[in-house]
Amino acid sequence: MSLKITPQIVLSLSLVGVGMAGVGAVAFADGWDPNSKASNVGSIANTRHNLTLQYNKDAGGAGIVMDFARNDYGEVCVYCHTPHGANKQINAPLWNRTINNVSNYTVYDTPTTIGLEGRLGVPGPNSLTCLSCHDGTIAIDSVLNMPGSGGYGNTEVGTSNLAFLDQWPDNGRPGTSGNHFTLGPELGNGDIGSACALCHSAPNSVIPDFRLFMLGTDLRNDHVIGITFPTTFGPGIDYNEPEISVPGKWAFFDSNGSGFAEKYEVRLYDSGSGPAVECASCHDPHGIPSNGAGTEFIPSFLRISNSTPNDNGIGGPSGLCLTCHAK
């Protein structure tokens, strides 16, 4: 078996307290990439989830290089959301992207915790959103509704309709013909001819290495998702009980007792079979301030820091993991 450095391995290592020394490629495991031009302060516009890469262009960088690899829609939100004509195949907020078919994923199949057998499932809506870029099968610019153009016609489920994406009329913003790149196959291994991995896959002082963020469609080496959380707690169940449960919507750890699911609180999404762990249980793709408004976001778009408490005292050493795991 070859050792692949994946979030799952990083997570497992951090849980048992093994240091990361010696795993050179994971130099920025807990912190933003030092090569990043993203300030990660204030808004998603200042993060790597701004696919217009405007911050990168404004900062005098070579962000313009990417204009041949994806349409620059000129707006941050549109790569993921649309006010009209959203994807009807997924229960996610005004979702503007093509999504992958759940049957294309290989999921975790070895539950280790008593009581969780039979609770394995496929990725739910709150994971399919992220996977629509991070599994490397769908073009980064594969939206259903291009801004201002009135254009509809992309597929809702499956691979991108490239001919539709070619119709982006530019509108003063660069478009590309034929080159609608995907992020890249798992860890950048495989055909990267039409993937962001073409450039973003080698140690380089100018081009950030994104290989760790390419999860692929085999999710067995990533933290389990789609699994229904325990609903009984106590002896033999190593999990904490979420304070608030709203059947059919979600359950959440109401750390500050407000009765409201703050963005910096871990949640379990219920898409029909009970509250489940999904990508967005741990991550908020818009970024969460680390210590109150105006402070740098917690690295890796995490909701809770595993090292430093926020201004509400939430987080700290293994804070994210210990929200769910009673260890």
Q: What distance in Å separates the CA atoms of residue 130 and residue 52, rounded to the nearest whole number?
A: 17
Q: Which is nearer to ligand HEC, 173 or 286 (CB)?
A: 286
Q: Which is nearer to ligand HEC, 208 or 315 (CB)?
A: 208
Shortest Cβ distance from residue 203 to ligand HEC (Å)? 14
Please count the residues of the chain: 327
Are 225 and 275 within 8 A, CB to CB? Answer: no
Comparing CA positions, the residue from 163, 81, 72 lying closest to residue 153 is 163
Q: What distance in Å separates the CA atoms of residue 318 and residue 327, rounded to the nearest whole number?
A: 10
Are 281 and 265 within 8 A, CB to CB? Answer: no
Shortest Cβ distance from residue 257 to ligand HEC (Å)? 19
Q: What distance in Å separates the CA atoms of residue 113 and residue 191, rounded to the nearest whole number?
A: 37
Q: Which is nearer to ligand HEC, 165 or 280 (CB)?
A: 280
Q: Which is nearer to ligand HEC, 77 or 102 (CB)?
A: 77
Whose structure tokens read 């290089």? 65
Q: What distance in Å separates the CA atoms of residue 76 and residue 27, rounded to the nearest whole number?
A: 28
Q: Which is nearer to ligand HEC, 77 or 157 (CB)?
A: 77
Whose structure tokens read 């291994």? 189
Whose structure tokens read 């997924």? 90
Shortest Cβ distance from residue 233 to ligand HEC (Å)? 12
Shortest Cβ distance from residue 181 to ligand HEC (Å)? 4
Shortest Cβ distance from residue 150 to ligand HEC (Å)? 21
Q: Which is nearer to ligand HEC, 37 or 154 (CB)?
A: 37
Residue 85: how many other CB atoms lie within 10 Å: 15
Shortest Cβ distance from residue 5 to ligand HEC (Å)? 8
Q: Which residue is nearest to ligand HEC (CB)?
A: 61
Comparing CA positions, the residue from 124, 168, 123 lying closest to residue 142 is 168
